[in-house]
Structure 1
Amino acid sequence: MTQQDIKEGKGLAIVSYLALIGIIIAYFLNNDKNNPFTAFHLRQSIGLWLMFHLLGFVVSGFDNWGVTSGFYLFFCVLFIYGLINAIMGKAQTVPILGELFQKWFSNIGR
């Protein structure tokens, strides 16, 4: 990934972290360009959003404010980490599952 790729793809990489509609916008706008930096952050963002919703369904069964607030805090930190990396122009995976997201969604952006 070159500095030119990072410079051109930074805007869409940032957009990909802004809710599910951001993923859709960044995905379709990146289809023509195939920017590797945007594709990297798209894979991270898709993985985070899917895990958030899947685990959120499980956590919603708990009637404990500590569990639910811990869940939201955990994902808030991961989203902010990914967003800051996109803003700074870094292609760093999010902790814990970032490498798996790159493998699972490897067909995105190729």
Structure 2
Amino acid sequence: METIQEGKKIATISYITIIGTIIAFTMNSERKNDFAAFHIRQALGIFITFFAFGYIIGYFNSWMITSAFWVFIFVLWMYGFLGALEGKKRLVPIVGPLYQKLFKSKN
């Protein structure tokens, strides 16, 4: 329980733009809080998904596709952000396990 309380601030910061994720990553590099690292991986995955697919979605000239993409990203972000605020390790829907596997450190 104590590690969750210690990592809650870093976990919350990680969801505030990609800059927040980078700041949270550097803040967590010394202490290596497991709860914070979990949420940093989730936030990083959400932002990378946003940039990668956002670039592709930008070529579609359809408000329905664009709107669906924004709603999807917002739901992922809210789910992760609220999990960090509540102190819970909840994987974001659909892609959460992939983010954990891709960004897991070998240490």
TM-score (norm 2): 0.97
The structure 1 segments of at least 4 consecutive aligned residues displaced by more than 2 Å after TM superposition are: none
Distance 2:7 2:61 in 1: 42
Alpha-carbon deviations, 1:4-33, whole Å to 9, x = none? Answer: 110000001000000011011100011111
Please list every run of 5 or more consecutive structure 1 residues that lacks an aligned counterpart in the other structure.
none
Match of 1:28 in 2: 26
Give the whole-Å Cα distance in 2 for the aligned partners of 1:24 and 1:104: 17
**What is aligned with 2:105?**
107
* Aligned position for 1:16: 14
Q: Which amino acid aligns with 1:35?
A: N
Find the residue that maps to 1:94 and give its secondary structure: coil
2:88 to 87, 90, 96: 90
| Whole-angstrom CA distance in 1 between matches of 2:68 and 2:99 | 22
What residue identity is the alignment partner of 1:43? R
Q: Structure 2: 5+ residue runs without aligned partners?
A: none
Distance 2:42 2:18 in 1: 13
Structure 1 counterpart of 2:75 = 77
TM normalised by structure 1 equals 0.94
Alignment-mate amino acid for residue 93 of structure 2: P
Compute the displacement of 1:61 (Å).
0.7
Q: Percentage identity across aligned positions?
A: 41
CA distance in 2 between partners of 1:62 and 1:102 (Å): 30
For 1:62, the equivalent position in structure 2 comes to 60
Q: For the residues of structure 2 that align with 1:4 and 1:101, how far apart are their CA atoms?
A: 25
Number of residue pairs aligned between Structure 1 and Structure 2: 107
1:86 partner amino acid: A
Confirm whether residue 37 of structure 1 aligns to residue 58 of structure 2. Answer: no
